[in-house]
Amino acid sequence: MDFNSLSELLEDHHCRFRYAITSLHLLNNLPPEKLPEVNFGLSEKRNQEYLLGRLSIKDALGSLGYPPTWIERDQHTKTPVWPEGITGSLSHSSGLALAVVSNCPAILGLGVDLEKANRTIDLKIERHICTQDESEDLHSLHPENHTIRLLLTFSAKESLYKCFFGEIPRDLLRFKNVSLKWESNTWTAHWRFPSEKKYPMEKTIGYWGMDLNWLWTICWRL
């Protein structure tokens, strides 16, 4: 499975990115001996998500020339423990996993999110994730565009959370501390921290696209 618009975006940048997608169909057709053991006491669904993610990470790292090994997860944060020199991000959605990795030293953080484009999203989520400016923009749109913009906003802020996890304290890494502006296939995140909190960035540029009825967002920090 290929995401053409994501491929084109990553190929256009001087930093070396690779991505891989794994489906539940592919996972279910692999013999058990080809998969790592999962001993986290998770539900069957969570076990499948974990294996989907690890398989997509293994394939993405393999495309960078790394040996086909299974990476561990951090016991406290539950996030992947990336090999030295690798920055990466992972997302699951509806039986699909997407991993994006880079071995470019300039990439200090990476965030990606994947959503089914036609998924049902509770419109009440707006008050939890949108700033006042974003809500005003949302309500100026046609109802059909309103729903997809809300899903995009949620997805982009998920990507931002992953990209800046560990860089910004978790009590400040909140969806309402950042406001998004949209242009074509890019989005700009304007950060709004309390005046006493100083961080070196004022904005972050991200990207989005749709492939095969899947919506993705991605951003990275330098």
Q: Kindly report, residue by residue over 58-70, the tens digit of the pLDDT.
A: 999 999 998 878 8
What domains can you pick out in the chain, each with its CATH number? 4-107 (3.90.470.20), 119-208 (no CATH)
Average pLDDT over the chain, rounded to an integer: 87
Q: Each residue of 70-99: pLDDT tens digit?
A: 888 888 888 889 999 999 999 988 889 999
More confident residue, 118 or 114: 114
Residues 6+ apart with CB under 8 A from 158: 91, 111, 113, 217
For residues 123-138, average pLDDT: 92
More confident residue, 32 or 179: 179
Q: Label residue 186 by pLDDT band (50, 70, 90).
A: very high
